[in-house]
Structure 1
Amino acid sequence: MYKEFRQQVISAIRDAMNNVRYPKRILVVRQKDHQSTYNDYFLYWVNQNVPEAAHLFELHYLPCEINDWERYALFLPWLQDPLKERFPHIYQYAKPIEAECQKRNIPIVNPIDNLSNSIKSLAAQRIGSIKGIRTAKTVPITDPEAFKKTQAGLSTPFFIREDWVHGCQIFFVQNLDDLANVPFEKFIAPIAVEFLDVKGEDGLYRKYRYFAMGDEGIPGPLMVSKSWEVRDNHNRVINESIIAEEIAYFSGEDPNHELLQQARKALGFDFMAFDYSYDEQGNFMVWEPNPFPVIWGSHDGDPDKKYALPSIDRIYTALLKYYLQRADISIKIPT
């Protein structure tokens, strides 16, 4: 009992000292009903690598009541995109907090309404308007029966997926008979997406990930697969050559930095990730934006992924620097 009490006293004293040294906080809100632990690993990384910054992040789950607005220097809505469309109840909780921040000139990373710009059909238009970037033609399907008759002008092959949801099931349509196997009734907002072949000369498919923290860009993982649907599953290819290729990518500077920054600004995001590939002709092909990217995956702690830890350190270092810069808080970060 005494030991627990002593630890509580020490913790209280430490908190009081930190309140004097760093009176400002970074207000973070999350939602209990979806991705409730989002960015926990980032917070763990901060605690391990820059412990003096760990106390700055004040987490709340929506709905919540904020009483002392004077303590906040930055607002981080860690909320799933597109928020207004997918989680309107969370949107209603978050908007008054954002409005109060705007009233008090508290900076916001990824304003809540801008999260709607991640809707794939909308994002494809905005990104594709930038010279030098190719996007797949994307068609919202509001009437599945009408679409089956006309395909909205799309030629096969194409695929059907959700317009709002990341990581959802994708249905490949090789010929029109395949449309009979698509369960349109289970979709929230289905879209048809032009199939663009990005198979490399070695017969493999590559998907690059680029993180943007404001004007800074950090290359992330490179995923290589035997399947056109490049995901971290049994079709992923990992060998010495691929690992060397991935290390070379995430250790350097992304060759498409300038174009991706133009795309970021067109979408109105501050922090986000882009997934991209190159088509058969070598054209730069952007798949989709993600303002709610998961940096640490469920298998990233596996021994065979140890080579990627420097990439995660680089991304988290840049992200923490960005948050501190937006909050105008000075803390030295080891490099």
Structure 2
Amino acid sequence: MSIDALVLQAARHSQAGQLDLVEPLLLQILAIEPQHQIACLELARVMILSGRYDEAVAVLEPLADEGLADAEVYRRLALAHSFADRKGAAIMYYRHALELEPGNGQVLHSIANLEQASGFTDQAAATYRDAVEVKPLWTMPAAVSPPEFRVLWMFAPGAGNTPPDYFVSRARFESSILTVLDGVEYDIDLLRCHADVVVNLVSDVDQSRAILNTVEALAERIGRPVFNHPRGIVGTDRASISMRLAGTPGCVVPHTCTFSNVDLLHMLNKNETAELQFPLLVRRAGTHGGEDFEKVDDRNQLNEFVNCIGESDYYVTPFVDYRSEDGYFRKYRFIFVGDEILPYHLAIDDKWKIHHVTTSMAGIQWMQDEERAFLDDPWRVFAAPQQAALRAIRNTIGLDYFGIDCALTPAGEVVVFEVNATMLVHGENDRFPYKTEAVSRIRQQFHSLLDRTAHEALSTL
């Protein structure tokens, strides 16, 4: 078969989403002509979609090294490095692409995202402005052609956004990411053309208070169904959640207070800490995971923590010892998608501050077995009373999509640690392959909910 015939056949399979049939054809082409650019680009795309980022780089780098790269080669190299979390290399290749295509808005968006993720806040803000002026939307095509429907994702730089990558990748719908900035006049008709349904990603209240009203006003003007409407996000900071869920039957919800560093230091200096119940947890507002978050046992430790972090708002919460009878701590994560409550992971550790990625679970079989059993049948652990508590939480929060981190007391009460829409869901489960099916169910349910909403909206147009 000729190269042209192989290219044509590969293109047909690609359009049908049959990537497993595409790769062998591309390899045949490259066996005949190793630097065939179309085949190299398409093979790299297939490898990126299947998570083989280093292989994609290995396919494309020879083109760049030998001066055969055009802007598309640099863009795809940048994408592979970005997915592999090599931000510096990704920025470098995107800038090479920008040299060949000055003013490419999509490349500017990508650079700005990487600068933001790398902590270059001021540089990212300027790049975002440049990007929005040139191209307000960053569009990712569907895995099939034509797309089944179109989703507009509303994103605000530095505002604590719901991570969308796992839901966007290889989807059967087209995704357009809109960067929302204050003071920008957007083309509403253009946005409507890319939106059968709108998903608001702006989800961390502490980081997004200044932009949420702008996001809400823009969503209302677009006039399409909105997932996680900004109005529903407003009441999801840690202090508000503790008040909203207080008294939920079957739950232990530690009361969370917000203090400025000035107020906390004043209380400590005046020894006016009677309202603080030690030991307690203190966290810098706007952070997640273990960042700037500690358990303190007395006022001296609290004073040391606040002085170390400096000017900020802080969340202060009574510490709940949620240790199981065997001495281990267990933190469960569920994801709420519409009416569904789906397990995401169980993290087990001998320390109270648990993050699944930093536990020793990858080397301990019984922990993996317990997590696998939980993911296969969460309702053996969370029986009818605990299910009722989770449903009550879902009904109170009322978002289309959000997560909860929680534990169980020996008496069977649900200890609520965190409830919000910022929680990461990803498909990179190489260390825990048994998680893949449960995580895929979350993606499938999210896609199904988008599909129903989009087609209901389309039927009324």
TM-score normalised by length of structure 2: 0.60
2:147 is the alignment partner of 1:29: no
Partner-residue secondary structure (3-state), 2:273: helix
Report the counterpart of residue 284 of structure 1 in structure 2.
414
Contact 2:331 2:406 in 1 (8 A): yes
Report the counterpart of residue 147 of structure 1 in structure 2.
267
Report the counterpart of residue 36 of structure 2 in structure 1.
none
Among 187, 190, 195, the alignment partner of 2:314 is 190
Contact 1:226 1:236 in 2 (8 A): no
Deviation digits for residues 288-322 of structure 1, max 9, x if unmatched? Answer: 1021221017xx343x2212111211111111112
Where does 1:144-293 land on structure 2 (aligned, <5 Å)?
144-148=264-268, 149-167=271-289, 168-184=291-307, 186=310, 188-232=312-356, 234-238=358-362, 239-254=364-379, 255=382, 256-293=386-423
User: What residue ranges of structure 2 are gaps of 5+ in the alignment?
Assistant: 17-140
Measure, in 2, the Cα distance between the counterparts of 1:32 and 1:175: 37
CA 1:35 to 1:154, structure 2 compared with 1: closer, same or farther past 3 Å? closer
Superposed displacement of residue 228, structure 1: 0.6
Where does 1:78-97 land on structure 2 (aligned, <5 Å)?
78-82=201-205, 85-88=206-209, 90-97=211-218
Partner-residue secondary structure (3-state), 1:288: strand
Measure, in 1, the Cα distance between the counterparts of 2:301 and 2:246: 28
Contact 1:141 1:147 in 2 (8 A): no
Measure, in 2, the Cα distance between the counterparts of 1:290 and 1:273: 6
Contact 1:200 1:280 in 2 (8 A): yes
Deviation digits for residues 122-166 of structure 1, max 9, x if unmatched? Answer: 101111231211111222224113432233523321121134432
CA 1:261 to 1:209, structure 2 compared with 1: closer, same or farther past 3 Å? same
Measure, in 2, the Cα distance between the counterparts of 1:308 and 1:75: 29
2:353 counterpart letter in structure 1: E
TM-score normalised by length of structure 1: 0.80
Measure, in 2, the Cα distance between the counterparts of 1:295 and 1:276: 16
Deviation digits for residues 205-229 of structure 1, max 9, x if unmatched? Answer: 0000011111111111000111111
Among 103, 106, 113, the alignment partner of 2:231 is 113
Superposed displacement of residue 195, structure 1: 0.7
CA 1:35 to 1:153, structure 2 compared with 1: closer, same or farther past 3 Å? closer
Superposed displacement of residue 284, structure 1: 1.7
> RMSD of the alignment, in Å?
3.3
2:415 counterpart letter in structure 1: M
Deviation digits for residues 313-332 of structure 1, max 9, x if unmatched? Answer: 111111111221222369xx
Contact 1:29 1:61 in 2 (8 A): yes
Among 189, 204, 207, the alignment partner of 1:67 is 189
| Paired residues, number | 309
User: What residue ranges of structure 1 are gaps of 5+ in the alignment?
Assistant: 48-52, 331-335
**Structure showing greater relative contact order (alpha-carbon pairs closer than 8 Å, 6 or more residues apart):** 1
Superposed displacement of residue 114, structure 1: 2.0
Where does 1:286-305 land on structure 2 (aligned, <5 Å)?
286-296=416-426, 300-302=428-430, 304-305=431-432
Contact 1:158 1:172 in 2 (8 A): yes
Q: Percentage identity across aligned positions?
A: 19
Report the counterpart of residue 199 of structure 2 in structure 1.
76
Superposed displacement of residue 285, structure 1: 0.8
Superposed displacement of residue 253, structure 1: 4.2
Report the counterpart of residue 58 of structure 1 in structure 2.
176
Deviation digits for residues 10-56 of structure 1, max 9, x if unmatched? Answer: 89x998x955x84x422112234467893223222xx2xxxxx5333
CA 1:88 to 1:234, structure 2 compared with 1: closer, same or farther past 3 Å? closer
Contact 2:161 2:201 in 1 (8 A): no
Measure, in 2, the Cα distance between the counterparts of 1:270 and 1:28: 14
Measure, in 1, the Cα distance between the counterparts of 2:215 and 2:359: 39
Superposed displacement of residue 193, structure 1: 0.8
Report the counterpart of residue 240 of structure 2 in structure 1.
122
